[in-house]
Structure 1
Amino acid sequence: MRSLQSSSCLRYKEEEPKFRNDKKLGMFFNSQSENKQTNDNKNNNKDKKNKGKNENDDKVFTFDFKIGPPIKYFQIGVLIGSAAYIFYSLGQDDIDELTFQQFTSEYLSKNLVDRLIVVNGRTAIIELNQSGKAQFPHSHNQKLSFNIGSLEAFERSLKEAQDEFEIADAVRIPVIYTNEGSTGKMLINFIPTVLFLGAIYYMTRKASSMGGMGGPLGFGKSTAKKFNQETDVKIKFKDVAGMDEAKEEVMEFVKFLQNPEKYEKLGAKIPRGAILSGPPGTGKTLIAKATAGEAGVPFYSVSGSEFVEMFVGVGASRVRDLFKTARENAPSIVFVDEIDAIGKQRSKGNASGANDERETTLNQLLVEMDGFDTSDHVVVLAGTNRADILDRALLRPGRFDRHISIDNPALEGRKDIFKVHLKKIKLAEDIDKDLPGRLAALTPGFSGADIANVCNEAALIGARFNAPAVTLRHFELAIERVIGGIEKKSKLLNPEEQKIVAYHEAGHAICGWYLKHAYPLLKVSIIPRGQGALGYAQYLPPDQYLMNTFQLYDRMIMTLGGRVSEELHFASVTSGAHDDFKKVTSIAQSMVLKFGMSKAVGLVNYADSQSQDNLTKPFSDETNQTIDEEIKRIVNECYQKCKQLLIDHSKDVELVAQELLKKEFITREDMIRLLGKRPFPEVNDAFDKYLDGKDAFKNEKPANEKKDSE
């Protein structure tokens, strides 16, 4: 916080606070100041003797006065309160209050009153004549007064009292009415206003020091942070893996800004901006940080939510200030993270006006990017995971020319990301040489953030077991924790529930083992997990983008295996398959409404043809009935096939269930030992490349590890 400086006797410096006052103060706050004062006095006496001059009147003593900001403001408040009290006391006269009866009996009856002064219709001040002043000499320094209820009652009582004492009309006491205000009271009443203004000033200064808005009138200033590639950002493109195409697109912007003549001589214009879109955790912000580290130009980073404030017009003002600053330092790069906070599609009509501020900010952004006043050599990068809701005017060429989609990395991309994160982890010497590829094969569908979390969890698990280095077992436990959550060892199932869960998971495992298009099975467990699952089966899906009808059918059959196994082995089913039904229903609906895999419905897409603003169904009631019948038909066909498959392999279901009850989890190697090798080749190339012939999971705990009990 900046120092507070005023014209009073208190002066604060930002580096070394001092307190200056006259010699007569005689205060010492610490021993260091006292010694310093003594030394200064000796030096001053020597100078006086040498010069022969007397400078005692001009001597200034210096004291160290170090206090914290809360004490400083408390002292200022006490000073203001004391000054107000002094003013109030000075404004009050010494007044002796009487009753009306005392006034009439002691002063009016003895003819000692010269006149009465009624102040503000509530107080009557008595002024004595010469006889009264002689009889009451203290009245020179003390005023006599009494309170009155109402003017009518006072005038009537005064008239009756003078009639009673038979005072002639010519000498009756004159009454003067006047209105006065107390300076002290006025100052006291003004104190809350002063404190309120002081609080506002303090908040604006605090906001200025934290957000860089530049004082109470600086709300419209941009809050963007400027980065220096030499000192602020250490991340480079070599630290970003798994998104080579996106790096090439973004690097072209950097090269254009660093050497614009190379492109301009061919007639090319610099693109205005690029949208980085993709699922959460894929590295959109990370690639922007790397751009800031690689670019040799000023880089401004700001969040979309920082443009939206409770004050009207602040967002548009900040947009103008941001682009003004970027133009002044051109060539430059501006990165707007989570641009969907201000870039949502504008509504057709909004009677309430609730979004006017956001839409005004968006309009200003559109003008700044490609309006009359264009921003030459200023590139805008924006990140969002909701590109579908952005306004179309924002996405057109001339504003955001490039749309860079960053998806979850494929196998080789995950392998490269693991290589980056494994450099920071102390690995065991005898660990698998192709560890990045093995871990990449075990983590299909993981984003870059998930991979970073796996590596960090592995290191935490190794430290928890007091391991000297991180082993493969630690990574396997970390993957299980990220996928299924932490093991709920305190959630103990009774024997009946445990048996139901075992046969349920055995049904999934057998269906997956004997279906041609099923994913490779890695592990089946009946240990409760943190996400509410009493058991789970872990498979290894391939990086596949197209699925045919046979693959979808096999996937639904495998998902229904748990519920069908319960029907075949128990008198009643349970509620444990509700999540399986959700997945099966979603696949069947997509086949009918999206993929055109139903002959009765036809080659139509009803799922994506309905807009958010239109609440009506895009099909008739007859078509709706047909859709329901087709979804039920597909699910029933999968159910019948699943039931027949489990009946044919009932002995295998029993073997797997009993093994699960015995060990609580089994791996692929256990399945091969119990059932023999799977009759179909694996559909995942990563499995054959990195896991074929190896244990997917090691079940034993390393002998040299001992869990930390502290």
Structure 2
Amino acid sequence: MLGSSFALYYYLSNGSNTSREITWQEFRNAFLDKGLVDKLVVVNQSTVRVQLHSNATGTMYPSAGGGEYHFTIGSVEAFERKLDDAQKELGIPSHERIPVSYKEEVSYVGSLVSMFAPTVLFVGFLWWMSRRAGGAGGGGGGGIFSIGKSRAKMFNKDTDVKVKFKDVAGMDEAKEEIMEFVKFLKEPAQYEKLGAKIPRGAILSGPPGTGKTLLAKATAGEASVPFLSVSGSEFVEMFVGVGSSRVRDLFSSAKKNAPCIIFVDEIDAIGKARGKGGNFGGNDERESTLNQLLVEMDGFGTQEHVVVLAGTNRPDVLDPALMRPGRFDRHIAIDRPDVSGRKGIFMVHLGPLKLSTELPPMDVLAQKLAVLTPGFSGADIANVCNEAALHAARKAHEAVFEADFESAIERVIAGLERKSRVLSPEEKKTVAYHEAGHAVCGWFLEHADPLLKVSIIPRGVGALGYAQYLPPDRYLLSTPQMTDRICMTLGGRVSEEVFFGTENITTGAQDDLQKITRMAFEACANYGMNDVIGPVSYGGREGTKEGWTKPFSEKTGEMLDYEVRKMITTAYDRTRTLLIKHRADVEKVAKLLLEKEVITREDMISLLGKRPFKGKSDDMDKWLDENPSLGERSAPPPLEEIPGPVPADDTPTPAPVATATRIEDFNRL
């Protein structure tokens, strides 16, 4: 349409003009020097028409049909000056010089185009956008106005959801809770005849990677009903009213396809509590979207058989009106799996892999990998299995071996070995004594986690060494357990002080100090584990983040600072006393580390004997004792990275992401 319009304009404006365009040089050589010019007409101050004498027809320079010529000028002043100079050179008297006239001409076609071209272009753009939006929407109808249509993806019997509950492991309690939705959608009459009303919706909350979206898909797959999936961010647009329009369209589509399931992922994008942060810009639009969602969820009839599932990592920021009964009645918490849950998840992800015949049976392998990966989420486990297959392919293996899984766990948590990073002898010795301090403290502290491996091989971004422990699935921390953990974390710093002196302490303990400071602050300000502060809770670190002001007075803040410092210095003195007592043991471990670079639990037993706590019943210790060969293999990386000294450029050593996550488990107790 636009192309034909411009073609018509070009034909009308240029096709009827038979005048031939020439240059100034052609004009002078062919016409002016030969005296064939009768008159010059300057049109619109940009074009000069050349009118020749009537007797010059037979001697025309190249023929142009009717004998009309023109050339373009930059400015009238420059043209007049060049024409005067040329006629002076030719010796033409002033009274015989070529007359020049000026005129303005208006092209009706050009005027029309200049008037209506913007409108035509705008209408054409809207038409193109309408066609494009209609095609992208999958339904066509609505054109440009389909911007207010829901972008939810529909999964129905034609595009069946293949995920079933058997594909979801490690969340048995959550599956039991959500199974009621499946039973209702399959057999609603069984509930309705008793007068029961199905819950309108459920919030699936938990850390990232724990399987919230997967569980929602499995619910749709088991129920064999249409499944509408949409992200919370897709409701947020810069156009006013688009979010609420999409919410209306989403629920309208759900009612047409009832019984069905709506899954809104990351609902906190539109469901945050109202009235926070002021009403500026897009905040009003977000709140109107939330209001529309509240209305739609409360507007269901009991016969519509539509269930709304929502996933979020932050249920604490959601609006109370969204969480009340009648909207999201059920709050299903999905936490990281325990050992049995991790075993089930490994069984699911090990199935598609081509495993080596040298490996133990799949259930035994899954149990071993589950023990080696405490704190891992379902996504972490899936990544471990995938990385193991990639590592096997990279090494040109015919199948996946146990070493591939161990390398995969190392890569997922701590990154690759930094073989290019060569430490100087002084730095290597410092790192060895630092790690030996951690290992010896953990070995002789009753409540420390079982040690599996100590290494001084640089890994990841800034870790120059690490000690690996296998903490059990613990849900409560007592004061002695927390104190032992702080002392074990301080072991590296204290070991440097004992063996190299206070003046030679390095920056390698930066991450250790951050961890113990956080733990001590939580103990005093959140868990009520300090006699001076008393049994009060100020929300810990999270309490100071939510508001602009601290939830305690300046005097209490000073008291907290003092008690946190006192708790850490007391643990520091206890750790120094312990390492001085076992100074010879630290030297043994450090020398063996300098020799082998990696030592295992079996090496520690041969050096120091078994841990002197026979009455201690630890599931991980028992498992390690029943599987002594584990310590002889290359073990996976630690759950508590112990970074060594920072590089020479004094860049602070960053804590690995996985490390921070494992430590933060403690904050949720």
Task: Return the match for 2:577 from 634, 644, 664.
Answer: 644
Q: Which amino acid aligns with 2:7?
A: S
Q: CA deviation at 1:191?
A: 4.6
2:373 paired residue number: 443
1:533 paired residue number: 463
Provide closer, same or farther for how the CA distance between residues 510 and 85 of structure 1 changes in structure 2, counting only shifts above 3 A.
Answer: same
- With CA pairs under 8 Å and 6+ residues apart, which has the higher RCO, 1 or 2? 2
Task: Return the match for 2:589 from 644, 656, 662.
Answer: 656
Q: Which amino acid aligns with 2:495?
A: S
Task: Return the match for 1:85 from 7, 10, 18.
Answer: 10
C-alpha separation between the residues in 2 aligned to 1:313 and 1:338?
A: 20
2:515 paired residue number: 583
TM-score for both structures, normalised by structure 2: 0.79
1:202 paired residue number: 128
| Aligned partners of 2:262 and 2:307 also within 8 Å | yes
C-alpha separation between the residues in 1 aligned to 2:196 and 2:247?
A: 27
Task: Confirm whether residue 314 of structure 1 aligns to residue 260 of structure 2.
Answer: no
Q: CA deviation at 1:675?
A: 1.1
Q: Which amino acid aligns with 1:367?
A: V
Provide closer, same or farther for how the CA distance between residues 629 and 348 of structure 1 changes in structure 2, counting only shifts above 3 A.
Answer: closer
Provide closer, same or farther for how the CA distance between residues 611 and 348 of structure 1 changes in structure 2, counting only shifts above 3 A.
Answer: same
Q: Which moved more, 1:641-650 or 1:324-333?
A: 324-333
C-alpha separation between the residues in 1 aligned to 2:444 and 2:621?
A: 18
Deviations for 1:580-624, whole angstroms, at most 9, x for unmatched residues?
000010111011101111111111111359476642232222222
C-alpha separation between the residues in 1 aligned to 2:287 and 2:320?
A: 13
Task: Confirm whether residue 598 of structure 1 aligns to residue 530 of structure 2.
Answer: yes
Q: CA deviation at 1:501?
A: 0.4
Within 5 A, what are the aligned runs for 1:183-262?
A: 183-187=109-113, 190-191=116-117, 194-195=120-121, 197-212=123-138, 214=140, 215-229=143-157, 231-262=159-190
C-alpha separation between the residues in 2 aligned to 1:611 and 1:393?
A: 25
Q: Which amino acid aligns with 2:429?
A: K
Provide closer, same or farther for how the CA distance between residues 690 and 197 of structure 1 changes in structure 2, counting only shifts above 3 A.
Answer: farther
Q: Which moved more, 1:306-315 or 1:404-413?
A: 306-315
Q: CA deviation at 1:265?
A: 1.0
C-alpha separation between the residues in 1 aligned to 2:557 and 2:343?
A: 46
Q: Which moved more, 1:348-357 or 1:326-335?
A: 348-357
C-alpha separation between the residues in 1 aligned to 2:240 and 2:564?
A: 51
Q: Which amino acid aligns with 1:520?
A: P
| Aligned partners of 1:473 and 1:697 also within 8 Å | no
Q: CA deviation at 1:204?
A: 4.4
C-alpha separation between the residues in 2 aligned to 1:235 and 1:323?
A: 24
Provide closer, same or farther for how the CA distance between residues 531 and 696 of structure 1 changes in structure 2, counting only shifts above 3 A.
Answer: farther
| Aligned partners of 1:519 and 1:683 also within 8 Å | no
Q: Which amino acid aligns with 1:692?
A: E
1:41 paired residue number: none
Larger radius of gyration: 1
Deviations for 1:546-603, whole angstroms, at most 9, x for unmatched residues?
1111000000000000001011111410000000000010111011101111111111
Deviations for 1:523-565, whole angstroms, at most 9, x for unmatched residues?
1011111141000111011111111110000000000000010
2:229 paired residue number: 301
Task: Return the match for 2:559 from 617, 626, 630.
Answer: 626
Q: CA deviation at 1:483?
A: 2.1
Q: Partner of 1:432: helix, strand, or coil?
A: coil
Q: Partner of 2:505: helix, strand, or coil?
A: coil
Q: Which amino acid aligns with 1:595?
A: Y
Deviations for 1:193-245, whole angstroms, at most 9, x for unmatched residues?
54454445434433443343733221111111111246432111101101111
C-alpha separation between the residues in 2 aligned to 1:468 and 1:94?
A: 80
C-alpha separation between the residues in 1 aligned to 2:597 and 2:479?
A: 34
Q: CA deviation at 1:95?
A: 12
Q: Partner of 2:529: helix, strand, or coil?
A: coil
Within 5 A, what are the aligned runs for 1:171-182?
A: 182=108
Task: Confirm whether residue 398 of structure 1 aligns to residue 304 of structure 2.
Answer: no
2:400 paired residue number: 470
Provide closer, same or farther for how the CA distance between residues 432 and 684 of structure 1 changes in structure 2, counting only shifts above 3 A.
Answer: farther
| Aligned partners of 1:438 and 1:691 also within 8 Å | no
Provide closer, same or farther for how the CA distance between residues 93 and 357 of structure 1 changes in structure 2, counting only shifts above 3 A.
Answer: farther
Q: Partner of 1:523: helix, strand, or coil?
A: strand
Q: CA deviation at 1:84?
A: 2.4
Within 5 A, what are the aligned runs for 1:75-474?
A: 77=3, 80-89=5-14, 182-187=108-113, 190-191=116-117, 194-195=120-121, 197-212=123-138, 214=140, 215-229=143-157, 231-347=159-275, 350-371=278-299, 376-433=304-361, 434-474=364-404
Q: Which moved more, 1:350-359 or 1:650-659?
A: 350-359
Q: Which amino acid aligns with 2:563?
A: E
TM-score for both structures, normalised by structure 1: 0.75
Task: Confirm whether residue 511 of structure 1 aligns to residue 441 of structure 2.
Answer: yes
| Aligned partners of 1:520 and 1:683 also within 8 Å | no
Q: Which amino acid aligns with 1:645?
A: L
Task: Return the match for 1:569 from 484, 489, 499.
Answer: 499
C-alpha separation between the residues in 2 aligned to 1:466 and 1:353?
A: 56
Deviations for 1:674-710, whole angstroms, at most 9, x for unmatched residues?
1111112565414424663422244479xxxxxxxxx
Provide closer, same or farther for how the CA distance between residues 350 and 244 of structure 1 changes in structure 2, counting only shifts above 3 A.
Answer: same
Q: Which moved more, 1:197-206 or 1:578-587?
A: 197-206
| Aligned partners of 1:92 and 1:184 also within 8 Å | no
Q: Which amino acid aligns with 1:488?
A: R
| Aligned partners of 1:91 and 1:182 also within 8 Å | no
1:675 paired residue number: 608
Q: CA deviation at 1:353?
A: 3.4
C-alpha separation between the residues in 2 aligned to 1:472 and 1:144?
A: 88
RMSD: 3.9
Q: Partner of 1:226: helix, strand, or coil?
A: strand
2:410 paired residue number: 480
| Aligned partners of 2:356 and 2:401 also within 8 Å | yes
Kindly, what percent of the aligned residue pairs are identical?
Answer: 59
Provide closer, same or farther for how the CA distance between residues 289 and 85 of structure 1 changes in structure 2, counting only shifts above 3 A.
Answer: same
Q: Partner of 1:217: helix, strand, or coil?
A: helix
Q: CA deviation at 1:143?
A: 11
Q: Partner of 2:508: helix, strand, or coil?
A: coil
Q: Partner of 1:616: helix, strand, or coil?
A: coil
C-alpha separation between the residues in 2 aligned to 1:213 and 1:312?
A: 23
Q: Partner of 2:384: helix, strand, or coil?
A: helix
Q: Partner of 1:577: helix, strand, or coil?
A: helix
2:87 paired residue number: none
Equivalent residues, number: 587
Deviations for 1:25-75, whole angstroms, at most 9, x for unmatched residues?
xxxxxxxxxxxxxxxxxxxxxxxxxxxxxxxxxxxxxxxxxxxxxxxxxxx
Q: Partner of 2:228: helix, strand, or coil?
A: strand
| Aligned partners of 2:13 and 2:107 also within 8 Å | no
The runs of 5 or more residues in structure 1 that have no matched partner are 1-5, 7-75, 97-117, 126-132, 150-176, 702-710
Q: CA deviation at 1:93?
A: 8.9
C-alpha separation between the residues in 2 aligned to 1:654 and 1:591?
A: 33
| Aligned partners of 1:566 and 1:573 also within 8 Å | yes
Provide closer, same or farther for how the CA distance between residues 604 and 323 of structure 1 changes in structure 2, counting only shifts above 3 A.
Answer: same
Q: Partner of 1:309: helix, strand, or coil?
A: coil
Provide closer, same or farther for how the CA distance between residues 342 and 664 of structure 1 changes in structure 2, counting only shifts above 3 A.
Answer: same
